[in-house]
Amino acid sequence: MRTATVYPPPFPGCAARLRAVNVNVRYFAGAREAAGREAESFDVEDGSDIAALLTEIVRRHPSMEALRPSLRYALGNDFAAPEAVLATGAVVALLPPVGGG
Amino acid sequence: MLSPFNVTPDPIDATEVRAAVLAPDCGAVVVFHGTVRNKTGARSVTHLEYEAFAPMAIGEMQKIAEEMVRTHGVHRVACTHRVGRVEIGEDAMVMAVSSPHRAAALAAVADFIARLKQDVPIWKKEYFDGGAVWIGTPENPQGEGEMPAPVARERDA
């Protein structure tokens, strides 16, 4: 998978790091309000997991930091662990504590 | 007939939810209405607003229902939940369980709701005079205790 996309690579290993995966993020409830939007896209380094994506999200939306400890995540339509690795086109949802019923 | 699990902005027709679980070999059908009440603790509530991640919410409801069938031996489960603004007295959710006998159906209703409040991606915003809060967050925990038994509590009086 680690094929060089830039030639010549400036130094070994750099090409792999330059590859980015594009993921879509959906925000719900308090997370939607913190982000000020329902969805947006992020480019993250190849091999990034949801936790790494969160760091990028917090960088863009600092008020998300307060919610972070209570968030759960979905990849597609299923719960996912923060360690879940992201592929291009992945849809990640940020789920604050639920309160249906 | 509707699918057994729904998320809808429209008022819920409980007869449809009930119809989704009916079966000739079931001697018990329990229908539960979760209605919007006008207060939380001492705070007056003006209305609620629900938000859902609909496809996931329906998928999670399905999973929990399958678990109820496995663990309680009930026949079928159905649940419809509102999204958007819901007024005091309206149904925020209606669920139904059918079973050959009542004990399993009653237990499965209580269990299903408890699990829904934990794992189904539906959020509730409570509006009161002067503000609104998301319920379920560490600052605003869900007000209802888990229910081991339906004993009368002070706030139910």
Q: Is A93 helix (H, G, I), strand (E, B) or coil?
A: strand
- A77 neighbourhood in chain B, CB within 8 Å: 53, 55-56, 59
Residue of B49, B51, B144 for testing the chain A interface, max A β-carbons within 10 Å: B51
Q: Nearest C-alpha of chain B: how many angstroms from A95? A: 7
Q: What is the pLDDT of residue B136?
A: 86
- Mean pLDDT is lowest, of A10-19, B31-40, B75-84, for A10-19
- ipTM, 2 decimals? 0.87
Question: Average pLDDT of B45-54?
Answer: 97
Map out the domains of chain B as residue ranges. Answer: 5-132
Q: State chain B's mean pLDDT as an integer.
A: 91
Q: Helix, strand, coil shares of chain B as percentages rounded to 5?
A: 30, 35, 35
Q: Chain B 110-129, CB below 8 Å of chain A: which residues? A: 113, 116-125
Better pLDDT: A15 or B37: B37
The letter for the amino acid at B140 is: N
Q: Nearest C-alpha of chain A: how many angstroms from B134? A: 7
Across the strands, what pairs with B45?
B128
Specify the CATH architecture of the domain A17-95. Roll (3.10)
Q: The dihedral of CA B58, B60, B61, B65: what is its sign?
A: positive
Question: Average pLDDT of B101-115?
Answer: 97
CATH topology for B5-132 is: Aldehyde Oxidoreductase; domain 3 (3.90.1170)
Across the strands, what pairs with B50?
B84, B124
Residue A13 clears pLDDT 90, i.e. is over it: no
Tell me the pLDDT band of B117, cut-offs 50, 70 and 90: very high
B142 to chain A, any CB pair closer than 8 A? The answer is yes
pLDDT in tens, A26-50: 999 999 999 999 999 999 999 999 9
Distance CA A46, CA A88 (A): 9
Residue A93 clears pLDDT 90, i.e. is over it: yes
Distance CA B53, CA B123 (A): 9
Residue of B123, B126, B135 for testing the chain A interface, max A β-carbons within 10 Å: B123
Tell me the pLDDT band of A4, cut-offs 50, 70 and 90: very low
Tell me the pLDDT band of B156, cut-offs 50, 70 and 90: very low
Q: Chain A residue closest to B59 (CA)?
A: A77
Mark yes or no for CB contact B56/A70 under 8 Å: no
Nearest Cα residue to B54 out of B90, B6, B14, B113: B6
Tell me the pLDDT band of B149, cut-offs 50, 70 and 90: very low
What tokens appear for A98 in the block? 């639920």
DSSP character string of B65-127: HHHHHHHH--SEEEEEEE-EEEETTSEEEEEEEEESSHHHHHHHHHHHHHHHHHHS-EEEEEE
**Considering CB atoms only, which of B34, B93, B123 is closest to A96?**
B123
Question: Average pLDDT of B101-111?
Answer: 97
Q: What is the pLDDT of residue B23?
A: 96
pLDDT in tens, B59-80: 999 999 999 999 999 999 999 9
Asked if residues B20 and B2 have their Cβ atoms less than 8 Å apart, the reply is yes
